[in-house]
Each structure stands twice: as C-alpha cells, then as structure tokens.
Amino acid sequence: MERNQKQGGGNEEEESNETLDSSSKLYEAYNELHGLAQEFSMPFDAPAILVVGHQTDGKSALVEALMGFQFNHVGGGTKTRRPITLHMTYNPSCSLPRCCLVSGDGDVEGCGDRRMSLEEIQGYIEAENMRLENEPCQFSEKEIIIRVEYKYCPNLTILDTPGLILPAPGKKNRALQVQARAVEALVRAKMQHKEFIILCLEDCSDWSNATTRRIVMQIDPELSRTVLVSTKLDTKIPQFARSSDVEVFLRPPARILDGCLLGDSPFFTSIPSGRVGSERDSVYSSNEEFKKAISLRELEDIACLEEKLGRLLSKEERSRIGVSSLRLFLEELLQKKYMESVPLIIPLLDKEYRSTTRKLRDINQEICNLDEMKLKEKGRAFHDSFLAKLSLLLKGTVVAPPDKFGETLQDERTNGGMFIGADGQFSQKMMPNAGMRLYGGAQYHRAMAEFRLVVGGVKCPPITREEIVNACGVEDIHDGTNYSRTACVIAVAKARDTFEPFLHQLGYRLLYILKRLLPISIYLLQKDGEHLSGHEVFLKRVEVAFNNFAETTERACRDKCMEDLVCTTRYVTWSLHNKNRAGLRQFLDSFASMDHSSFGGNSSCSAPTQQNSSLGPVNNDTKLDNKKTDTNSCSHTTETRLVDLLDSTLWNRRLAPSSERIVYALVHQIFHGIKEQFLVSTELKFNCFLLMPVVDKLPALLREDLESAFEDDLDSIFDITQLRSSLGQHKRDLEIELKRIDRLKEKFREIHGKLNSNCVHPKNFSALA
C-alpha cells in the first residue's frame, strides 16, 4: 500500500512537472511570437496586459509589485517615455530576477539579446528617458522589450505605457499640452490592438470621476476587455467618514460603471513606498523584503476596511483587495486568452510562412536576374506597363482608391492653384463634382470645365472717361477723333490684361494634374506586381523624364495659346467680334434713336398727325404732295442729325454722353468677342498640344531616353552593386524570419497537440503562480 502511495505520489509529481514544462513552453512561444510581431511587423498580436493611467496614478509601481521586484524609476513627472514590454515567466529555480533586454536585431537563436542586471536595466531606461526628453518628439512608440524569469514572477506579458497628462489651460502651458496630445495618441494606438487586455488605473475615491476611463472607453466603449483598478487604497480609506461610503466605493452601482467590465467589479491595490537598494535613503534591502511589505500592506488594508465597515469582508470582496489578488486574476485571464488563441495562431503562422517563402523565392529570382540583358528587358517591360497605366488613368478607371489619390476641387485649388480674376476667386458651389475626389482624366476634365465657367463669366472691366480721352490721342493727318479706334485700343488692352493671367493659371493647374499621374501609376504597378522594387535610380530617371516632358509640353502649349491671345488683342476684325453687321447696326440705331429723341419731340419724319385724319377725305394729288413734302423734310432732318452726330463725334473733342456710350458699347462688344475666341482657342490647344502628346509623343520620348541610358552606363542606372548588396541583406533577413516562424509553428503545433490530448488542461495553469 505504501508502495502504491509512493507510486501515486510519483505520478502526481511527474504530471505536475509535465504541466509545468508545457506551460513554460506556452509562455515562451507567446513571448517569442510577440517579439517576432514587433520586429517584423507581423499582422498578429500575442495576448498581453496593457497598463493605462495618468501620471502619478501609480502605474510603474503597480507593475513592479506584480513582478515582485523593482526595476524602474517611479515618482512624480514623466518616468516612462517609451512603452516597456515585460515578458514575465515563472521560474522557481531563479532566486534572483534573470533579465534580458531584447535588442530587436538578434539572430535566430536570440544571441543579439543582452543579459543585463536590474541596475543596468534601470540605467538603460533612464538613459532612454533623458534622450527622448531632449528630442522634439519627447515620446516614442517603439517598445523596450525585457524578458524576465523569477521565482516570484507571474506568467504575464505586461506593457507599461507612458502616463497620460492633464495639462492646465493657457498659452504658457502650450508645451505641456503638446506632450499630452502625443502621449494620448501613443496610448490610444496601443489600445487599438484587440488582443490586449486593458488595465485601467484610477486614482480617485469617487467612481463618477472617470479620468482614465474616459479615454479608455473611446476605444473600448463597453469595457469588455478592460480591468478597472483603484490604486493607493491605503490613502483613500481614511477619507471615508461613513461605512456607507465605503460600501459604495467597494461595490459601485451599475449606473456609474456602465458596460461589461472584466471581473464585474474593480480591484483595489496599495503599494508600499520606498525603494530597494543599499543607499542611505533605501527602505528595503532586498526584493524579498519588498514583496513581504506588499503582502503586509494587503492585510492592513483589509483590516482597515473591515474596521470602517464594522463587519468582515466576504470572500468575494477579499478577492478584489491587494496586488496578489489582481495578479492571480490577470494570470488566469491571460492564460485563458493564450489557450483560446493557440488554434488561431497556427493558421496565421502558416500564412506568414508561405508569404515569407514567396518573398524569399522572389528575392532569389531577382538576384539571378542581375545581368545586363535581363535588366534591360525589365526596364523595357516597366516602360510599357507604366505607359499602359498612364493611358488607363486618362481614359478613366476606379482601380486606384479615390480616398487615397483623389482630390476634391478645394484640394486641387490648394495644391494646383486657383483661377483668380479681377473679381476674385470663383465660387465652388457653382461647379459640378466639386466635392468628389477625382484623379486622372476626370480631374483634367473638371479643371477645364472650371476654366470655361470662370472665364465665361468674366465681365469687361470698368471704363473711365479718362481712359477714353487718353485713348483718343491725335491722328497723324488731322486733330479730329476716331472713336472706333479709341474703342479698339481700350478693348484689346483690357482683354490682354484680363485673360493672360488665366492662361498661366490653367497651364499650372493642368500640369499639376498631369504630374499626379506618376505616383498613381506607380501604385497601380505595385498593385499588379509590375513595379521595379529596389531600382530607385532607374525609377528616379523615369520620374525626371516624365516631369521634364510634362513641363516642356505645357510650356510649348502655353506659348501657342499666348500667340493666339496676342493676335486677337493686336488687330480687331469686325466680322469676328460682331458676327455680322446686324449686331452693330442694331446697336448704333438704338443710339441714333436716343439722339433723335434728344433733338426734339416734333420731327418731320413722324407719322401723320390726328389733325390730318380729321380733315376728312382728300384727293390723291393732295396725298402725293403731302408725301413729297414729308420725304423732303425727313431727308433734311436725317442730314441734320448726321451733321450733329459728326460734330459731336469727329469735330468736337469734348466727350459727349452719346460718344461715351458708343465707345463703352463698342469696347464691350470687342471684349466679348475676344473672350469667346480665347476660350475656344485655349481649350482646343491644351487638348491638342498638352493632353494628346502624353498619348502619342511620350512613349517614343521615354523609350528614346531609356535606350540612351542603357547605352551610357547600365550600372549607374540600375545601381547593380548597391542592389546586389541590399538584396543579399534582405535575403538574410528573410531567412532569419523564416526560421523563426518555422520554429514557432512547431512549438504551437506541439502545444496544440498536448491541449487536444488533455495533457495540459486550463485548470492546471492556475496552480503555477
């Protein structure tokens, strides 16, 4: 029987050792997974505890208490400027903490990681804080990763984040306000990871005062992955005067803590003050004394609470008091997350293994293709693909995402310039598709439509009497005035000053739109796997060639448009501006009738009066005589009016109202004709001499430039030496990554197999703390 008992005891011990070994492998695998994700930006996260709180809430002190030893600087102000990731592993054989700083650039076996003492860890963290304090951005998202093995360590991965800041308002605190925004952005980015359990610290005696919870609930509104902790319990107990206040504090109402809080209610912790060390101001000589002080503080807190309440705490209430209770809860919670995630991690690792294998195969193929003929063929293939993408963008496509590459009209105006005339900027509300994010041919068409709308709405600038008089001048053979010449002089001068700026604005805007085609085309090439990665010198040459072509073509097109504008503003052709004589005749007749009415109301050219009709019937001879008399009188009046008109417009240099109106109307007529000609000619020339050359001239010019580069120096174009070196380094990195992923796959498969065979059951993990 005794033998059977010994045999049974041996089986239990063997099972315990097997469980301990399996759990250690599980934590080791997850720690390595976290490091791999950080180093190579893997698309998965290992479960971890993310500590979030404001400055002086006791974040770093709580983390040290959970670990069982002190490692960081604590106290007022900012003591953490980089997130610190602590991979803690329970190891009963380590009587002293065994720390290792993960460098992030180690090889497969982790030889790049540095074994460091606690003092060296503290010095490293302090040096990093001082370095960042002197930089413009005083915080960094890059984590300090530390692996720890210790007999008092729980099996946890904890991320300690910089403390949130509540700066005072006002201009004098602007620097602190900038820091506060930087810290909050860093913490919010870490909380976005769905695998992280958020440890939300609150230093308050009133749960309605949600300082840290306010920020946490912006990321986790239901608090479904948040553990709430009230720190510095020993300082809050004396503040309660009545037992009812303590009851509300220990069990806050559901209306105050909305959501599905992890653990259903908050935890309460106290950390004894004092540092471990041999200095004169040190309180504890060893970490064992520090750990005992934490346990003693828990007992004292429970005793004080029971004294305030006048009763004993229940078992459930005791399970929420103290660091040890919080550590046990977090460890069991994280272990559950580990177990649930194991089956999900294996497919992700398989996917990453296939992806890395494919990248490595591509790198090997690129290294094999580093010969002259293959590089030339790759360059020519890129040339053809690049031109195909350009053509596709001009014709129209939805392959490139508009939210990334599209621009609204306001964005386009800001980056490519606005159409601004004498009347100021044109209203965006009148433009169709103004709020749509466009690129390529659609953006080109919208810019041209805006040009037509803006220029088409331009009115002739105001004309002053001084301008008319100055434009009259003196003829070379007489001192009379020629108001038709005056109108032409004024009209062409104002048209030239008005329309020339629009020409330059249109050229700049369309050139900007064409240059935007280059990065969008590169994106499409990358998306289709046709991009020449690693050939920056070659790509830069293509970019320079394309931009030079666009700039030269736009400048030549603008010069052609400028020639047309000079022509239409140098010589006035009446048939161009009036279309036919009817417009001008109708206009002059209107002024003639106005002048006629000003000469007097009783004109001999008027129709027969009512007095004639009242005389009764008359014979034909009388009618004929009356008709002759009226004709002679009308002819005489017309001659008189003509003489008066010439007197006021040719022989008299005094600017009469009628002359001013004639000049004003002629100027408007000529200005309108120039505007119509300018609009039609400019749009046609930009389409023919800027847009079309991208289609029919750019391919030949790019190919000519490419072949010329190939003949000059192929090595300088593709930078073969540098490329071979970078590809070799990339290959080595991928090989390291592949081996690490393969080793992790085997670890997780082994763990998954043991879980399926019930060799390791979740309930067994709780006994390992």
Tokens of 130: 């001082």
Higher pLDDT, 732 or 71: 732
Distance CA 541, CA 697 (A): 18
pLDDT at residue 92 is higher than 70: yes
Residue 39: its pLDDT value, please? Answer: 57
Residue 672: its pLDDT value, please? Answer: 87
The most distant pair of C-alpha atoms in the chain lies apart, rounded to whole Å, by: 165
Mean of the per-residue pLDDT values of the chain: 77
Residue 302: its pLDDT value, please? Answer: 92
Please tell me whether the overall predicted TM-score, pTM, comes out greater than 0.75 for this model: no
Residue 687: its pLDDT value, please? Answer: 93
Higher pLDDT, 710 or 87: 87
Residue 601: its pLDDT value, please? Answer: 44
User: Across residues 499-513, what is the average pLDDT?
Assistant: 94
Distance CA 346, CA 745 (A): 6
pLDDT at residue 99 is higher than 80: yes
State the DSSP H helix or E strand holding residue 160, giving kind and residue range, or none if neither: strand 156-160
pLDDT interval class at 678 (50, 70, 90): very high
Q: For the chain, give every domain's residue range.
A: 349-371+722-759, 375-463+495-566+682-712
pLDDT at residue 658 is higher than 80: no
The three-class DSSP label of residue 248 is: helix
pLDDT interval class at 198 (50, 70, 90): very high
Phi, psi dihedrals of residue 675, rounded to the nearest 5°: -60, -45
Burial 33-70 (b: 16+ CB within 10 A, else e): bbbbbbbbebebebbbbbbbbbbbbbbbbbbbbbbbbb
pLDDT in tens, 2-56: 444 444 444 545 554 555 455 566 666 666 666 666 555 555 556 788 999 998 8
Residue 734: its pLDDT value, please? Answer: 86
User: Across residues 119-140, what is the average pLDDT?
Assistant: 81
Residue 622: its pLDDT value, please? Answer: 47
pLDDT in tens, 729-764: 888 888 888 888 888 777 777 777 766 664 444 444
Distance CA 319, CA 323 (A): 10
pLDDT in tens, 554-590: 999 999 999 999 988 888 876 665 554 454 555 555 5
pLDDT in tens, 276-330: 877 787 888 888 888 899 999 999 999 999 998 889 999 998 999 999 999 889 8
Tokens of 18: 């097997």
Residue 642: its pLDDT value, please? Answer: 52
